[in-house]
Amino acid sequence: MLIINGEMIEFKTMKILGIETSCDETSIAILNVNPPTHKASKGHLGRIKVLSNIISSQVKIHAPYGGVVPSLAAREHEKNLKPVFEKALKGAKTEMTDIDLIAVTIGPGLEIALWKGINFAKSIAQEFKKPLIAVNHLEGHIYSNWLPPLNKTKTLRSFSEVGPALNLIVSGGHTQLVLMTGHGKFKILGETQDDAAGEAFDKIAKMMSLGYPGGPIVSKMAEKGNPKKFQFPRPMLNQKNYNFSFSGLKTAVLYLIKDLRNLNEKIKADICASFQQAVIDVLVQKTIKAAKEYKVKSILLSGGVSANKLLRKTLQKETKKLKLLYSQPDLQYTGDNAAMTAAVGYYKFKYKKHKMPNFESLVVDANLPVKNW
């Protein structure tokens, strides 16, 4: 049930259009959610399917600068939104008349980039008279775990089957441990006090002139290296809290590179492997410690760094030892994408019990924290 301008609207099968422009990917996706049938088993809440998930990447544009340039990102979003929108509708074999809800990312992220997505969302919502809902980008990463692969169908289950859940969000801009006790019920247990894990990967790559984006390159080189070659610090590993810090680790790598001076490919691979192992040790051990303390049923991994093979393998292995449920997003949903935005939009619609905000009240919050709905 949804209240728009005082009118009650009830949907059965829903199509949600998601819009994501928080950084350097322009993405629009369309999600289809079918209600449960009368014969559905207990806890069956319907079926979800990603009809399209179009992503226009700006990696090649920002690569020469070694990082994302906000003004260039905004310019590309402006240029790409309409064609990506049209491609998403075509890929989903859907018209705007079939869309029931529009969900757009309002933060956290680059303010100038986020505004492009919000303004586009407002314009099509007004043109086609569709309800519009605001989405937190980090909550999107969490909900990437609820998404099936493109054009596959997934059964939605009651949250009680997986919750309480512990979410490890690891991306270029954020590293957080978030306890989830229900849909829209979050508690941040810990977060990075300086560099995010993904940011540290990028900076290490830049130190050794490996290219951009650094995360995938460092991970690839690490496969050829010895993770025990260099003993890097594991920052904040033994502290009682669940916060993270990667600036000291980054500095240790920098000093080593300066001391070694001439780096051949073997040494670079060993540095990458040793650095990666240090990061993963901290991420996994803190996650497992929190899982034990808060007695969760499941551990969920998400964010751009969740594509890292070793992180996925290690966290899954340690979760299994605790006999807990484990979930990680399909690789296509590890980076920024609009399918996860649409997923949050659906659940906010489903569980929010108040009126949708006026279009004009939707504004950017570049530092938007994860918070309860």
pLDDT tens readout for residues 273-319: 999 999 999 999 999 999 999 999 999 999 999 999 999 999 999 99
Q: β-strands 44-57, 153-157: how paired?
A: antiparallel
Q: Is residue 187 part of a domain?
A: yes
Closest residue by Cα to residue 215 from 229, 231, 196: 196
Helix (H, G, I), strand (E, B) or coil at 236: coil
Residue in the structure block whose two tokens are 């905000």: 357
Q: With a cut of 50, say whether residue 70 has pLDDT above it.
A: yes
- What does the pLDDT average to over 242-257? 95
Instruction: Judge whether 129 and 4 are in contact, CB under 8 Å.
Output: no
Q: Is residue 156 part of a domain?
A: no
pLDDT tens for 194-225 read 999 999 999 999 999 999 889 999 999 999 99
Same domain assignment for residues 85 and 204 = no
**Tally of domains within the chain:** 2
Give the domain extent around 298: 163-327
Same domain assignment for residues 42 and 168 = no
Query: Which residues make beta-bridge pairs with 8?
Result: 3
- Strand stretches in the chain, DSSP E: 2-4, 7-9, 14-20, 25-34, 44-57, 101-107, 132-136, 153-157, 165-170, 175-182, 185-191, 298-302, 325-327
Q: CA 51, CA 126: separation in Å to the nearest integer?
A: 23
Same domain assignment for residues 216 and 251 = yes
Closest residue by Cα to residue 15 from 83, 103, 87: 103
Q: CA 87, CA 89: separation in Å to the nearest integer?
A: 6
Q: Is residue 16 part of a domain?
A: yes
Q: Is residue 157 part of a domain?
A: no
Same domain assignment for residues 204 and 227 = yes
Cα-based angle 306, 311, 313 (whole degrees, multiple of 5): 110
Q: CA 373, CA 186: separation in Å to the nearest integer?
A: 9
CB burial class (10 A; 0-12, 13-18, 19+) of residue 263? middle
Instruction: Judge whether 120 and 19 are in contact, CB under 8 Å.
Output: yes
Q: CA 319, CA 321: separation in Å to the nearest integer?
A: 5
Backbone angles phi, psi at 323, to 5 degrees: 60, 40
Same domain assignment for residues 133 and 172 = no
Same domain assignment for residues 62 and 118 = yes
Same domain assignment for residues 37 and 138 = yes
Q: CA 163, CA 181: separation in Å to the nearest integer?
A: 6
Q: What is the CATH number of the domain that holds 180?
A: 3.30.420.40
Same domain assignment for residues 314 and 355 = no
Q: Is residue 366 part of a domain?
A: no
pLDDT tens for 121-167 read 999 999 999 999 999 999 999 999 999 999 899 988 888 899 999 99
Would you tell me how many other CB atoms lie within 10 Å of the CB of residue 154?
14
pLDDT computed for residue 357 by the predictor: 64
- The dihedral over CA atoms of 69, 70, 71, 73, expressed in degrees to the nearest 10, equals 90
Q: Is residue 372 part of a domain?
A: no
Same domain assignment for residues 242 and 173 = yes
Q: Is residue 370 part of a domain?
A: no
pLDDT computed for residue 108 by the predictor: 97
Please give the model's pTM, rounded to 2 decimal places: 0.92
Same domain assignment for residues 174 and 61 = no
Instruction: Judge whether 322 and 295 are in contact, CB under 8 Å.
Output: no
Distance set, CA 24 to CA 66, 110, 338 (Å): 13, 9, 13
Backbone angles phi, psi at 115, to 5 degrees: -60, -35
Same domain assignment for residues 55 and 187 = no
Distance set, CA 92 to CA 36, 151, 219, 316 (Å): 22, 9, 34, 33
* 3-state helix, strand and coil shares in percent for the chain, rounded to the nearest 5: 45, 25, 35
Same domain assignment for residues 354 and 294 = no
Q: CA 222, CA 148: separation in Å to the nearest integer?
A: 29
Query: Which of the pair, 181 or 40, is modelled with greater confidence?
Result: 181
Query: Which residues make beta-bridge pairs with 104?
Result: 19, 134
Instruction: Judge whether 16 and 30 are in contact, CB under 8 Å.
Output: yes
Q: Is residue 291 part of a domain?
A: yes
- CA Rg, the chain, in Å? 21
pLDDT computed for residue 4 by the predictor: 41
